[in-house]
Amino acid sequence: MFNLVTRFQAATNQALTASVIITGVVIALTILQLFKDDVWNLQTTQVTNFKPTSNWKYSYQYGSINRKPKENTKLQFNLKTDLSHLFNWNTKQIFIYLTAEYPGKSTGSSNKITYWDKIITNPNDAKLDLKNQKSKYSVYDVEKSFRERNATVRLEWNIQPHIGPLIYGSTEELGQFQFVTNEKK
């Protein structure tokens, strides 16, 4: 009865059950920790000094089709925040990103774009104080131009655990800026 195969089966069964239980406990503890640390709030965040710029582009990577002009925008800003409390024993990385939201043409339409993002894996790098940070991406709209609309800026983050659920958070509105449009060359 107790040959090699049944012993092996019993051992793997035991190991599997144990790891499922341990995983469940770790995830439950992580969620409790996240609530305790209040990781959905970044009270002290300041993003200021917005400097939007614009450019006309004619290549496919910049959103242009058939060499038609497409407006690309960038945003320079200052950012001050402290993400230390988002880290705990089950945090693999924090992905932090600066978004701008602006209305579309029709009612009920809306757009949100990312100008800048950063991956932070070390809690020692969690204090950010960036001056005149340049935009990481050159951003175009679904329309030809941004038409000098107003945009709302937020700082958002995604907490990635070693094991378990992905957590997302966002600040309230941190400020507004108006897209500038250059005369077409």
Partner 1 sequence: MNIRQQLTQFLSLAYVFTSAFIVWKSLSIIANSHSPIVVVLSGSMEPAFQRGDILFLWNRNNLQKVGDIVVYEIEGKNIPIVHRVMREHHNFEKQLLLTKGDNNAVDDISLYSKKQQYLNSKTDLVGTVIGYLPFVGYITILITENVYFKYGLLGILGLSSLISNE
Closest CA to 42 of 89, 86, 87, 10: 86
- Per-residue binding letters, 62-91, with partner 1 (x by CB under 8 A): -x-x--------------------------
18 near partner 1, rule: CB under 8 A: no
Window 122 to 161, contacts with partner 1 (CB under 8 A): 137, 139, 141-142, 156-158, 160-161
To the nearest whole angstrom, how small is the minimum distance from the Cβ of residue 112 to partner 1? 5
- Per-residue binding letters, 30-49, with partner 1 (x by CB under 8 A): --------------------
114 near partner 1, rule: CB under 8 A: yes
CB 51 within 8 A of CB 180: no
CB 35 within 8 A of CB 41: no
DSSP sequence for 44-77: T-EEEEEEEEEEEE-SGGGT-STT--EEEEEEEE
Out of 15, 119, 150, 180, point to the residue binding partner 1 (CB under 8 A): 119
Please give the size of the binding site for partner 1, defined by CB under 8 A: 40
Distance CA(104)–CA(23), nearest Å, equals 44
CB 5 within 8 A of CB 13: no
Strand partners, 70: 57
- How many residues comprise the chain? 185
Nearer to partner 1, 82 or 117 (CB): 117
Applying CB under 8 A, the residues found at the interface with partner 1 are 3-6, 23, 60-61, 63, 65, 92-93, 95, 97, 99, 104, 106, 108-114, 119, 121, 137, 139, 141-142, 156-158, 160-166, 168
